[in-house]
Structure 1
């Protein structure tokens, strides 16, 4: 799945605005949640709350009820396994729309589910349960860069997706941000859960680039959170903010100017060399230049190391030399010098036009490169991998469950600038991460897949049996189990501790302060107590 999470675009061009000091892009809403008309499977036990619907009336046609046109095609998010039944879907076009919707939800005690990109591994962007108000934020889609140099700021609507975001930032002066690779992931959940990407070893997580967040609170008021305003809320939102504390309407980041020349690369080895390659890869973390951002994909067809180096091809060769010597000669490699955005496009896996950076806008014939049927899990390793863990990677990656279209384990090298921030600066506790595993199983790679297809039983058995062995190994060698909340998993054991550790006490206190009625709730939201 090659992304860091929490979806197809409409056919419209980017609208470019310019002035002496400001350039802005308005990115069109996306239609990833439009797989086709599918009948509701299980009606709610209670009738639609007429008071609630009447309260939403000022939003007009932006309110989609079950009997209205557009409800079914906007009901679903990216992962079509989940067919939760929202009470209504509101297609918000402004912060004011969000305010109205939240006030109505509070008055009727309807849980609020913000949807930025809709990539939640557990369907939480459509509530994770029946009866939620889904607030689709695709209409909050502007990207505006102001200032220059070290004082530049990028204000980004919470409905923007990573591909269009990178394209807009590039077109406004060659900027970028230190986020993930999957172009259809929404900036909202991705940022609020931490936000790791190929620039993170040099610039930290996406939350480390945040200057200010605008959020609609449980009373329906727009408030700002930063290091100088609502500091507790700012702390909570940076790592634990995905739908638990309010609806974010915009982020203001410190954008990044990447190197003039960047080198993207892939190296491939057969799975038979996994032990040697993975040992070299793990050892490389301690000495690797921060200019290197890299991941390792371990799958039945072998190992692929891919990443981007901030510099020329010649300097990349020098920076990678020690690793390649230890790993052994790859069976194939592909090293390309270009602009940083060329590397972003390459690892976005956009197939309709892989040479034109405008493909990052997700317009036209874009189709997601990953299956719409997915199960994911994670583990966060605080130290170099033991031999037993490397052996498990090789063992389980070699298996190919019947009925699956892809199964793999992504091993991200962390460290570097991620560790430059103290563990208590934000609610993101995994600052000491050495490597992070994303376990993925996919089935039905049809880009026009319909929702509600039966699960791949063999795929889920592979996932569950594998994860059980990794958990046993983790507890024996690495301490308390830790997982990455952007790969959220409802089956994660002791999830509050795994995702938030000792920060959970403070997070509950902040939750009780800002949302005492628990309007922003889903199965793994921060609880009141």
Structure 2
């Protein structure tokens, strides 16, 4: 995904491709070689589900049936690798619409696929399979800050994207949230999978600011979920809630008032400096101020460390001094003092008006500033990186697969406030994370690219060969494999344990209790007991 404002250095052009790093996996949310993916192969279209269509009639024009232009226009999510064909699409604009849709889907035995931002790495925001009821939540996009409450609360519709959310919070009193950077990611899946961003070392994950949610359950009832109401569901939603337990219609967060001055920054090094820079970066995790929110991109055109510091430019320099002394002089740097929202805009890669914060609203001529063809994977490291792991970062980050527009590894520094919530308090088990890697390969960055193109064979080979080496190294040095569920991957071994660890048994029990008919299901949904 994209990250800075033109003109860009070579490293910055790679950083432009980063923003799936905070990506939500849509609402909920196998290599195919050089031929179309299996879901693209011609097949006989099943007859429309007449029971479902009849049941949905009260929703009128919000129901989009197959073989219509509106259906095709709204069928696809962000990643155009996936062309799964929903049974029907419902363009919801209220909780009542969602209740009707869920009741009808349950009666017709059709799985429900909620879509907020649609950024699932595996196409789960359009079902991950043919024949789902695609429930588009873009119409649930309200943001209301209540400053009369103590503490202040922000009620947010589950279909809003992060860019418009940041803009609305800013306009209602200068507030923000500790969420990710990509402006087109939906708040739904991003929250329900944990929600890491550049404020997380100071304020924790986004789920740690969540105090309440409204949810349509498997019976189509609208219920409130919090620490005191439906507390088991509240546990499950915070880390494993993406598409398995119900459809969230709104979130209530404790918003954050950022520092009056915030300093955004980028530092670049040649890839030949990787070992030294990455060792300094890893060492920095234990001593860095919580006011430092930072990530490192490792790619063939170099290393870029970027982030936002909650304070002035002078204070930022002091906060990063120890790291820079150990890492060595960067080849270039770009440090800008302003407001926190200016940093959010800078790292959102919005090109229609890169100096106007209103661009975060994603209106007008906005198009996603990143590739629409992507494969991603992840690993969660519980301790400081070994030399063998740093060597792998340098080795694979320097390789460029033919046919790709960008292949890179993002290394996030976690720790600090993320660790302050007990591992048993939520279903997000990666509280001990020291660093989290996101592995990404992308191809075709044309914003007008069409869906269903053949995969980039070399890109997927780069990903598979690289990830195999990292897995071997991980198992030898760090214990059971752990990965971040917001970077969902169908091919990861033992995904149940990798994503949910010790929480998985309880999650299955909650699933069996609240959705015994498995209404909310997709290839990696929480199963029944």
The TM-score bracket by the shorter chain reads: over 0.9
Higher relative contact order (CA 8 A, sep 6+): 2
Question: 1:511–1:477: structure 2 CA closer, same or farther, 3 Å change rule?
Answer: same
- Distance (Å, rounded) in 2 between the aligned partners of 1:43 and 1:459: 27
Q: Residues 444-474 of structure 1, C-alpha deviation per residue, up to 9 Å, x if partnerless?
A: 0000010000000000000000000000000
Give the secondary-structure state (helix, strand or coil) at the position aligned to 1:343: helix
Give the secondary-structure state (helix, strand or coil) at the position aligned to 1:229: coil
1:6 aligns to what? 24
Q: Do the aligned residues in 2 keep the contact of 1:6 with 1:242 (CA within 8 Å)?
A: no
Q: Do the aligned residues in 2 keep the contact of 1:373 with 1:444 (CA within 8 Å)?
A: yes
Give the secondary-structure state (helix, strand or coil) at the position aligned to 2:118: coil
Does 2:476 align with 1:476?
yes
Matches within 5 A, 1:65-76: 65-76=65-76
- Distance (Å, rounded) in 2 between the aligned partners of 1:49 and 1:181: 39
2:375 aligns to what? 375
What's the CA shift for 1:416? 0.7
- Distance (Å, rounded) in 2 between the aligned partners of 1:61 and 1:452: 27
1:422 aligns to what? 422
Question: 1:124–1:200: structure 2 CA closer, same or farther, 3 Å change rule?
Answer: same
2:91 aligns to what? 91
What's the CA shift for 1:352? 1.8
2:111 aligns to what? 111
1:344 aligns to what? 344
Q: Do the aligned residues in 1 keep the contact of 2:24 with 2:187 (CA within 8 Å)?
A: no
- Distance (Å, rounded) in 1 between the aligned partners of 2:83 and 2:356: 35
Give the secondary-structure state (helix, strand or coil) at the position aligned to 2:437: strand
- Distance (Å, rounded) in 2 between the aligned partners of 1:303 and 1:312: 24
Q: Do the aligned residues in 2 keep the contact of 1:6 with 1:488 (CA within 8 Å)?
A: no
- Distance (Å, rounded) in 2 between the aligned partners of 1:280 and 1:151: 38
TM-score (norm 2): 0.93
1:328 aligns to what? 328
- Distance (Å, rounded) in 1 between the aligned partners of 2:474 and 2:326: 25
- Distance (Å, rounded) in 2 between the aligned partners of 1:374 and 1:457: 12
2:306 aligns to what? 306
Q: Residues 265-288 of structure 1, C-alpha deviation per residue, up to 9 Å, x if partnerless?
A: 000000000000000000000000
Give the secondary-structure state (helix, strand or coil) at the position aligned to 1:298: strand
1:240 aligns to what? 240
Q: Do the aligned residues in 1 keep the contact of 2:40 with 2:452 (CA within 8 Å)?
A: no
Q: Residues 211-235 of structure 1, C-alpha deviation per residue, up to 9 Å, x if partnerless?
A: 1000000000001100110000000
Give the secondary-structure state (helix, strand or coil) at the position aligned to 1:265: strand
Q: Do the aligned residues in 1 keep the contact of 2:169 with 2:176 (CA within 8 Å)?
A: yes
Matches within 5 A, 1:116-155: 116-148=116-148, 150-155=150-155
Q: Residues 65-87 of structure 1, C-alpha deviation per residue, up to 9 Å, x if partnerless?
A: 11333000100000000000100
2:16 aligns to what? none
What's the CA shift for 1:49? 1.4
What's the CA shift for 1:48? 1.3
Where in structure 1 are there 5+ consecutive unaligned residues? 8-38
- Distance (Å, rounded) in 1 between the aligned partners of 2:273 and 2:373: 30
Q: Residues 159-217 of structure 1, C-alpha deviation per residue, up to 9 Å, x if partnerless?
A: 00000000000000000000000000000000000000000000000000001000000
Give the secondary-structure state (helix, strand or coil) at the position aligned to 1:489: coil
Aligned length: 498
- Distance (Å, rounded) in 2 between the aligned partners of 1:411 and 1:147: 36
Give the secondary-structure state (helix, strand or coil) at the position aligned to 2:285: helix
Does 2:242 align with 1:224?
no
1:356 aligns to what? 356
- Distance (Å, rounded) in 2 between the aligned partners of 1:267 and 1:201: 20
Give the secondary-structure state (helix, strand or coil) at the position aligned to 1:151: coil
Q: Residues 91-133 of structure 1, C-alpha deviation per residue, up to 9 Å, x if partnerless?
A: 0010000000000000011000000000000000000000000
Q: Residues 393-443 of structure 1, C-alpha deviation per residue, up to 9 Å, x if partnerless?
A: 000011100000001000000001000100000000000000000000000
Give the secondary-structure state (helix, strand or coil) at the position aligned to 1:337: strand
- Distance (Å, rounded) in 2 between the aligned partners of 1:276 and 1:69: 54
- Distance (Å, rounded) in 2 between the aligned partners of 1:149 and 1:327: 45
- Distance (Å, rounded) in 2 between the aligned partners of 1:43 and 1:237: 36
Q: Residues 3-45 of structure 1, C-alpha deviation per residue, up to 9 Å, x if partnerless?
A: 32239xxxxxxxxxxxxxxxxxxxxxxxxxxxxxxx9864555
1:35 aligns to what? none
The list of structure 1 runs, each at least 4 consecutive aligned residues, that deviate by more than 6 angstroms after superposition, is none
Q: Which segment is superposed worse, 391-400 or 142-151?
A: 142-151
Matches within 5 A, 1:460-475: 460-475=460-475
1:257 aligns to what? 257
Does 2:120 align with 1:102?
no
What's the CA shift for 1:148? 4.8
2:48 aligns to what? 48
- Distance (Å, rounded) in 2 between the aligned partners of 1:391 and 1:320: 24
Give the secondary-structure state (helix, strand or coil) at the position aligned to 1:287: coil
Give the secondary-structure state (helix, strand or coil) at the position aligned to 2:82: coil
1:14 aligns to what? none
Q: Do the aligned residues in 2 keep the contact of 1:44 with 1:131 (CA within 8 Å)?
A: no
Q: Residues 370-415 of structure 1, C-alpha deviation per residue, up to 9 Å, x if partnerless?
A: 1000000000000000000000000001110000000100000000
Give the secondary-structure state (helix, strand or coil) at the position aligned to 2:325: helix
1:491 aligns to what? 491
Give the secondary-structure state (helix, strand or coil) at the position aligned to 1:472: helix
Q: Do the aligned residues in 2 keep the contact of 1:100 with 1:220 (CA within 8 Å)?
A: yes
Question: 1:150–1:282: structure 2 CA closer, same or farther, 3 Å change rule?
Answer: farther
Give the secondary-structure state (helix, strand or coil) at the position aligned to 2:491: coil
- Distance (Å, rounded) in 2 between the aligned partners of 1:150 and 1:485: 32
- Distance (Å, rounded) in 1 between the aligned partners of 2:350 and 2:136: 24
2:440 aligns to what? 440
1:178 aligns to what? 178
Give the secondary-structure state (helix, strand or coil) at the position aligned to 1:305: strand
- Distance (Å, rounded) in 1 between the aligned partners of 2:392 and 2:203: 31
